A and B are shown apart, each in its own frame.
Chain A
Amino acid sequence: MFRTLLLGLATALGLTAAQAADDPLKVGFVYVGPIGDHGWTYQHHEGLKAIEAKYGDKVKTTFVESVSEGPDAERVIRQLAASGHGLIFTTSFGFMDPTVKVAKQFPKVKFEHATGFKRADNLATYSARFYEGRYIAGQIAGKMSKNGKAGYVASFPIPEVIRGVNAFLLGMQSVNPDSEISVVWVNSWFDPGKEADATKALIAQGADIITQHTDSPAPVQTAANAGIPAFGQASDMHEFGKTAQLTSIIDNWAPYYVTRVGKVLDGTWESTDTWDGIQPGMVQMSPYINMDYEIAKAAKETEDLIRLGRLHPFTGPIVDRDGKERVAAGETADDGMMATMDFFVKGVIGDLPK
C-alpha cells in the first residue's frame, strides 16, 4: 500500500512532461497484488514483459503493485494518466468504477479494465473465460473425489467468482450428479494465511478435493500437506504441491497485451469488449498430472470440445439452489447472463453475500 503511494508520487512528480510525437508510448499497469504472488498478478506482469520484449524502445512500461480496491486505486490510476501514459491497464474487478471515473477525465488516454463490464470510447474491457477451465477441473474432481464433496476457497462474491464456482460444480455434476461444493469466502484476493486456514477448514469439514479462486499458492500447498488433491489458479502452482496439483488454469494475457499495444502504436485502437477462452489460448490448462490416464484423457477431450465450440459449460437445464430454473434444457447461458451471475446452482453449500 505504502510502496504504491511512493511509486505513484514518483511517477506524478517526475514524469509530467508533455509527450512529443516520437516519444515512446507509455504503458501503465495497475496490479491488485504483488508481482511475486505467483498467481494472478504474476501472470499480468508476464504480459508486461512480453510487451517490452516485442516493442523495445517504442514503449515504456510502468506498473504499480498491491493497489487496494478502493479510493486508493482512483488516485493511482489518475496519477498514471496525468503523467503522460497513453495506455493504462487496470487489472482487477474492483478497479472498475475508479477506471471509469478517471477515463472520463482523461479522454485522450486509453484505458483497459480487466474483468469488468463498464465501457466508454476510451475504455475497453477484457477478460478470460476462466469458467471453461473450471468446468474441466470440475469434471476431473467429479472423477477423483470419493465422497463427491469439493472445497472452494473463494475471494469475493462477484459474478466472476460465482461463475467459477458454478462452472466447477456443473463439471463435477456432469460425472457425479450428487456432487456438492462447500464455499468459504476469505474476503481477500491475496492473503496466504487466510487462504491456508480456509483450506484446512474445508478439509476438516469433509472436502476431499480443493480448488481456489484466490491468488496465492497457499491452498495448493496446504492441500498437499494434508494429502489432498487440488487445482492451481491463474498460474502453474505445481511447485507448491508436486503430488497434489491435478492441473491449473493459466491466464495467458501476453498475446492480448501485445496486440492491444500494437493497435495503439499504429493508431487502430478501439474500445472493445474482449472475452476469450480456451479457443484463442487466453485460458490454458497446465499438464494433467497426478491422475489416472483415463481421467487425463477425458479432461483433454473436454478441453478440445470446448475449444471447438461443441461444449458450453453452462448448458441447461441449470437450476439454482432455490429451485428456480435459470437455463432451460438444451439452451446455453448467454454472455450477458454470465457476466452478471448472482446465484449458486443446486449443490453449492455456503452463504452468498449480496
Chain B
Amino acid sequence: MEPFLIAVIVAATPFLYAATGELVAERSGVLNLGVEGMMLLGAVAAFVTALTTGSSGLGILAGAAAGATGALLFVIVALGFSANQAATGLALTIFGAGASGLIGQGYVGEALKPLPKLQAPEQLAEFSGVRILFNHDVLVYGAFALIAIVWLYLNFTRSGLRLRAVGDDHHSAQALGLGVLRIRSLAVLFGGACAGIGGAYLSLAYTPLWAEDMTAGRGWIALALVVFASWRPLRIVFGALIFAAFDQAGNYRETLNIEIPSQFLSMAPYLATIIALVMISLASRRSDTPACLGREFRPDR
C-alpha cells in the first residue's frame, strides 16, 4: 500500500502544476488548449538546461520560461489578434510537440541524475505516514504550495477578484476600468509557466531523460482535471490524486488485489470528467464555470 500511495503523489505532481496554471487562465476567461505543447516545451528546455549547466534549479526556471514563451505565442495570436482560442491552443500543442522534438534532437540518449529527494528525519521515518509524505523532491512540495497560493489569491485578494471578474463578464469588467487583455495575458503567461514546470518535472524528476512526446497526453488530462475540479483550486488536489490513483492502480494490482481491467483504468479519468460535466450542468446552484470562457473579447471604444 505504501509504495502505491507514494507513486500516487508523484504521479499527481505534473497534473497539479499544469492544471493549476490552466485553472488560472480559464478563470480569467481564456481557454488555452495548448497545455500539452507548453509542457513539452518546458520538459525539453528544462532537460537541456539542466544537462548543460548541471543545475536542476536553472532547469526548472528554464522550463517555466519555455512554457511561458509558448503561452506568449498564444497571447499574441489569440488575445492580440483575437483569433479563435480553441484553434490557437491546438496549434500551440502541435507547435510544442514539433519544436520540442527539434530542440531535443541532439539530446536523445542522454540521462540526468534525478532531482534529490528530501529525507525524513530518522526518528520519524519508522511511521508509514511520514515515509509517504516525506522523501519527495522539492517540486512535489512546490505543487501543493502553488495550489494553496492560487487558492488564497483567487479568493482573498483584490487582484484575484479582478481576474475572476474579467473571466465572468469582460464587458462589465472593462466598464469598471479593468485592463481585460492585460489581466488575461498575465493569467495565460502564468498558466504557461506552470505547464512548463509540470513538463520540467517529467524530464528532471519523473524520468530524468528526454524523449519525444514524453508527456504522453498528460496535458490533456490536466485540461480535463480543471473541468473535473469545476474550476476550484482545492478540488484540483483531490482530482489530481484520484486521476493519479486510477493511473497507478493497474501497476499495483497484486498488492491492492483488484480485478478491474487496466484498459478501464486508463479510461477512468475521462469518464470521471464527463460525469463531472454532466453534474455541473445539472447542478441548480451557480457553478464556478467562468461565464466568458473561450469567448473572444474586443474592447469597446
Contacts and interface: CB of A to CB of B under 8 A. Distances in A.
Interface of A: 2-3, 6, 33-38, 66, 182, 184-188, 190-198, 200-202, 204-205, 216-218, 221-222, 225, 239-240, 349-351, 353
Given A36-B101, A192-B216, A3 B94 contact: yes
A350 to B, nearest CB: 7
Contact of B250 (A35, A37, A184, A221): A184
A221 B209 contact: yes
Contacts of A188: 216
A46 B223 CA distance: 36
B214 A184 contact: no
A192 B252 contact: no
B97 A2 contact: yes
A196 B248 CA distance: 11
Contacts of B247: 194, 197
Given A198-B251, A201-B3, A192 B111 contact: no
Q: How large is the interface on B (under 10, 10 to 19, 20 to 34, 35 or more residues)?
A: 35 or more
Given A2-B97, A66-B213, A193 B206 contact: yes
Interface string B238-273: 000000000110111111000101110010000000
A239 B207 contact: no
Contact of B213 (A182, A190, A201): A190
Interface string B210-229: 01111110100000000000
A185 B262 contact: yes
Nearest to A34: B212
A197 B211 contact: no
Given A36-B104, A188-B216, A225-B114, A2 B209 contact: no
Nearest to B262: A185
Contacts of A240: 109, 111, 209
B253 A187 contact: no
Contacts of B207: 192-193, 195-196, 216, 218, 221-222
B108 A38 contact: yes
Interface in B65-114: 90, 93-94, 97-98, 101, 104-105, 108-111, 114
10 contacts: A2-B94, A33-B213, A34-B213, A36-B101, A186-B250, A190-B216, A192-B207, A193-B214, A200-B3, A221-B207
B16 interface: no
